[in-house]
Amino acid sequence: MAGNLKRPSPMYKQLADQLAEAIASGELEPGVPLPSETKLMQEYGVSRPTVRSAVAELRTMGLVDSEQGRGSFVRNQDAAPSVTLARTLRRSGKRFEAESAFSAIESPTITRTHITGAAAALLERDEEAAFAVERLLSDPVTGARYAHRTVIPLDVAEAVPQLAERPDAELTEIYATLTEAGHALTWQESVTARAPLPDERAALGVSDGAPVLVSRRVTYSGDDRPLLLEELRASAAHTQLTFRITPEKAPTRRRAGSV
């Protein structure tokens, strides 16, 4: 980790890259502090703002955590994927069971809303009324927190009285209820990630630079009519989601270059 920075490519980025490489190579181990800002200024012959920009880069890359009065510490990334949430369902007859178990931090809140945004596209309903059930959950082992939200369109709730009465029933119960109501259920889950919103940082305990995983599961009647939506949000630093891939038995259509 010597002290030579050429131009161009901003000096703060070069410094960030060098530090990132030192972290990746293990030269700077998790838990140990970076050299202080003053040291880095002297070592590399750059000014304070340049050093601070470099360290800020490392923070947004999720490589270090800075603590006022102490230092900037290399984050332990091996301990990163700690919690694995299996997004699998088990079924026996008309009963369902979810693979991953949570404990609720607060009791669920039920509200009446309208379906907008991503939910509208997935439920194929725009601006229609719906029940929304919000839960704040935590993993019983690690204490990691999750936000869970269920959206039940009003037309679905009206067709199945038990849903309207207890929209906050457990999801496995709801699946059973819908099955008894004659629906042949199928599910599709879609996963993406984004930077946390300000309120999510606190609620989900998202560490600096870590994204939020957003997973949305749609329950269909048959293969195509959306009945309800679940949305799960979690800090990606603590969580990975797993899916069992089951090949569909379907006629082969030719396609080129797929991987």
Which residues fall within 8 angstroms of residue 56, CB to CB, at 6 or more apart? none
- Interaction partner, residue 109 (DNA, a copy of itself, none; CB < 5-8 Å by kind): none
Strands 89-92, 64-67: pairing is: unpaired
Q: How far is the CB of 243 from a copy of itself (least distance, A)?
A: 4
Give whichever of 26 and 69 is closer to DNA, judged by the CB atom.
69
Binding to DNA by residue 8, rule CB under 7 A? yes
Q: How far is the CB of 47 from a copy of itself (least distance, A)?
A: 13
The DSSP symbol for 79 reads T
C-alpha to C-alpha distance for 244 and 182, rounded to whole angstroms: 26
Give whichever of 39 and 95 is closer to a copy of itself, judged by the CB atom.
95
- Interaction partner, residue 60 (DNA, a copy of itself, none; CB < 5-8 Å by kind): a copy of itself
Give whichever of 19 and 157 is closer to a copy of itself, judged by the CB atom.
19
Distances (CA, A) of 225 to 106, 189, 215, 255: 32, 15, 19, 27
**214, amino acid identity:** V
Among residue numbers 42 through 71, which ones bind DNA (CB under 7 A)? 45-50, 52-53, 55, 66-71
Binding to DNA by residue 38, rule CB under 7 A? yes
Q: Is there a contact between 167 and 152 (Cβ–Cβ < 8 Å)?
A: yes
- H/E stretch holding 146 reads strand 145-153
Residues near DNA, by CB under 7 A: 7-8, 10-13, 33-34, 36-39, 45-50, 52-53, 55, 66-72
